[in-house]
Structure 1
């Protein structure tokens, strides 16, 4: 609210007062008083610097209006307001313009006493008027929100703007700070902002409450839109993680949820981490980052071609694109997924490392594509390749290892082979696995192993001695070497 009200300020609050300038200038002179008059003749009793409201609307001849304007100008009035629409004679318009006397009128007839009271409250200003406007705006916004409907947000903003006497818009064009008073927050993520074209006490009081109502409507809209997809996404996670024996039961559930598991799937595995903490974030912050990424993915992908599902698994985001059987959705899916990675990365506070699997059909194909994507994402993260989607290797070796890793039975069998090293502690177990893997890759050559690990050959020989003793393994046996090499490869891929 301005310290001193003026006619120009009244006109700026068109949504509140509904007044337009009929003649004269939009004066900046202060309004000291507000007075009401039943007739034009009462103008001669109004003190200077007053804004006079003609309660009964225009009356009298054009000559009388001319006289009233002359008197108002002579007494130094701040302006003349009519409570009903007015078309001034040309002589009156010229007189008002020459005298610099603002003449105002509404587009539709208003109750004169109500208009007088509203203007008087505004001119007196202070906390009472600001609180009254803010309370009215919040009450009308709540009523609009309770009515719901597809245009609930628009109706809410229009109702609040009318009470506040300013314009309100929902800005969804750019990033929004959590500290913004009009921040619209969905799932703890600012997604838009309610912005007012007037900064006064009433707007500052009402804006956070209005934004909270818009947030609630947006959350309700997203829940309604994505609830079925989120239920299906939870089932996808179960299919990816389950033992092979549980798959038929989950496929049956998928049928009842209208999840087309028999079609072709491309899976992306996204590791989303707090850029500041990089793997050391608190559980609460890590959960917040993942929730925000999930919401962004739903918003970015829901209108894209194909059927999309977004799920969280541990600390990662799993995105599935499904297309008709016999098709290859890989190319279009990859472009959309890369766009998602760019959107997430553009936030500036997260690091995204992704992998994408090959198109695979059916529930087993879904599991295979997810395993490939996970291995590719793990490899990319280990190599520091952030902000893009890594793919499985062309030779197919990683796809084979991914298949072994995705099978709980195979994974358990391979882990059992390395269990004696694990019993020696995490640090010693990793030294053992890395050394043994390099030794087997080098066809049991201590010299080549030493070159690969930057060690002395004697150090390699010493390590291989205690590793083979701990495992109780005959490294001269081809089958033993092959099995241990697979176990080491899978362990290092998932490290």
Structure 2
């Protein structure tokens, strides 16, 4: 039937224009270059008109072509490079004559090959359908109804589910004893039966026992965490393991960093532990296996990996996914005040680490804003600082320069670093620092004296001022 061909892999470009889809069985494909040859085509043919032949059927000639196809008992008539809806008369003739009127925009040779493969029911066709069905299962996010609908489209046969088990009806019939498959009239060589059985098996695993590749996913997640936090030289060694596990570490990466900003301590850890698998399932339905979750720095890090530079369009698409993801996560984890930072795209193992730092910087800026999703600013000093600070040497330099202050611990060091940065940003004006940080001028002066004693630094020296200003900014990334 024509409706089954429309759902076959490689035939997504076929569009139904008019006429029934299930009147006649398609038995062969015929490529026609002259519309005058339509009446002589074998019964049950799917007739594909070339571009030149389609142009010759303009206007009333299309009505003539449909009449000739119906007289030949053709199953379908395919117009190539056809624009707009068909005329009302053509629609009526296709319906009355039992001819499926279709349109196709694309490579004509690829269309004919895909049609022949789908009609033959060969092992190659079954393999293509099985691959498409498996990919659709991975994108369906574990939801049985979505899996059944997706597999139905990929296989070209109806698939049903009761919430856990799956079954399929194949009109052409399947061999007896095929689990979950209904027999029908006729017989076939069993290739499609095998494709259906494989797809239903994967679907069952996805809903009852978790994803079949659950263990490798966990391994990739653990390794990704190590890649993000390990020293630079060790990260390059870990990249080899990542490639072996199927993680495209040499590709382009965009990072999402999600934090439950209202939670601390054990409550924060509990939400992050539960949120990771939920996010992974939701993202499988968005973009397939190129989303990789990990836990680092008390946050959920999600890396989107693509082989080619996604560019600005790819970044906008990722931000749209992040907004949909956060909306769904916020519904499930109400009260956690989830917020998300999104990085720019970067290439390779070091680019992966840079993306994670950018997402963290974006999230820091997110606090106090109306939108729960903030995109990293791709221009300005912060971008250079992030790229510089992603190297171990830069981080070590910052740590050494600010070591006496950082040794006080986060609670005491944080206010001092913020005060020093503001003081340097405002050219040493205690009044402007007091206004920005909501402090008394005397408190600012006391902090600056304390910082000067700890660092043993001359804040009037231009080189030391610049080094400390960069260090303060980098330390807060």
Shorter-chain TM-score category?
0.5 to 0.7
Look up the SS of the partner of 2:323 in the other structure.
helix
The structural deviation recorded for 1:482 is: 1.1
Which residue of structure 1 lines up, in the alignment, with residue 192 of structure 2?
none
Look up the SS of the partner of 2:309 in the other structure.
coil
Within 1, Cα distance between the matches of 2:222 and 2:380? 29
Which residue of structure 2 lines up, in the alignment, with residue 321 of structure 1?
304
Within 2, Cα distance between the matches of 1:384 and 1:357? 19
The structural deviation recorded for 1:451 is: 3.0
Q: Is the 8 A contact 2:253 2:355 kept in 1?
A: yes
Within 2, Cα distance between the matches of 1:327 and 1:225? 26
The superposition leaves residues 400-447 of structure 1 with CA deviations (integer Å, 9 ceiling, x where unpaired) of 333344334322321222222244565543332222111100112233
Q: Is the 8 A contact 1:269 1:318 kept in 2?
A: yes
Which residue of structure 2 lines up, in the alignment, with residue 230 of structure 1?
218
CA RMSD of aligned residues (A): 2.9
The structural deviation recorded for 1:366 is: 1.3
Matched, 1:353 2:339: yes
Which residue of structure 1 lines up, in the alignment, with residue 178 of structure 2?
none
Matched, 1:389 2:389: no
The structural deviation recorded for 1:299 is: 1.2
Q: Is the 8 A contact 1:360 1:368 kept in 2?
A: yes
Which residue of structure 2 lines up, in the alignment, with residue 249 of structure 1?
237
Unaligned runs of 5+ in 1: 1-152, 155-167, 172-215
Within 1, Cα distance between the matches of 2:330 and 2:364? 18
The superposition leaves residues 318-358 of structure 1 with CA deviations (integer Å, 9 ceiling, x where unpaired) of 11111122333322222222111111001224321110100
Which residue of structure 2 lines up, in the alignment, with residue 403 of structure 1?
387
Q: Is the 8 A contact 2:225 2:294 kept in 1?
A: yes
Matched, 1:367 2:353: yes
Shift in alpha-carbon separation, 1:396–1:238, aligned structure 2, 3 A: farther
Question: 1:292 pairs with 274, 281, 287, which one?
Answer: 274
Within 2, Cα distance between the matches of 1:287 and 1:427? 20
The within-5 A match list for 1:416-455 is 416-424=400-408, 426-455=410-439
The within-5 A match list for 1:80-479 is 170=163, 221-272=209-260, 278-281=262-265, 283=266, 285-305=267-287, 307-328=290-311, 329-347=314-332, 348-380=334-366, 383-385=367-369, 388-424=372-408, 426-479=410-463
Q: Which has the larger radius of gyration?
A: 1
Shift in alpha-carbon separation, 1:296–1:428, aligned structure 2, 3 A: closer
Look up the SS of the partner of 1:304 in the other structure.
helix
Within 2, Cα distance between the matches of 1:254 and 1:475? 46
Q: Is the 8 A contact 1:353 1:386 kept in 2?
A: no
The superposition leaves residues 244-288 of structure 1 with CA deviations (integer Å, 9 ceiling, x where unpaired) of 212331222122122212211111011135xxxx2235x2x4333
Q: Is the 8 A contact 2:206 2:212 kept in 1?
A: no
Which residue of structure 2 lines up, in the alignment, with residue 109 of structure 1?
none
The structural deviation recorded for 1:364 is: 1.7
Q: State the TM-score, normalized to the length of structure 1.
A: 0.50
Within 2, Cα distance between the matches of 1:399 and 1:221? 43
The within-5 A match list for 1:30-49 is none
Within 2, Cα distance between the matches of 1:229 and 1:426? 34
Within 2, Cα distance between the matches of 1:371 and 1:419? 21
Within 1, Cα distance between the matches of 2:310 and 2:205? 38
Look up the SS of the partner of 1:222 in the other structure.
coil
The structural deviation recorded for 1:390 is: 0.8
Q: Is the 8 A contact 1:240 1:367 kept in 2?
A: yes
The superposition leaves residues 102-132 of structure 1 with CA deviations (integer Å, 9 ceiling, x where unpaired) of xxxxxxxxxxxxxxxxxxxxxxxxxxxxxxx
Q: State the TM-score, normalized to the length of structure 2.
A: 0.52
Look up the SS of the partner of 1:311 in the other structure.
strand
State the number of aligned residues.
276
Within 1, Cα distance between the matches of 2:440 and 2:352? 45
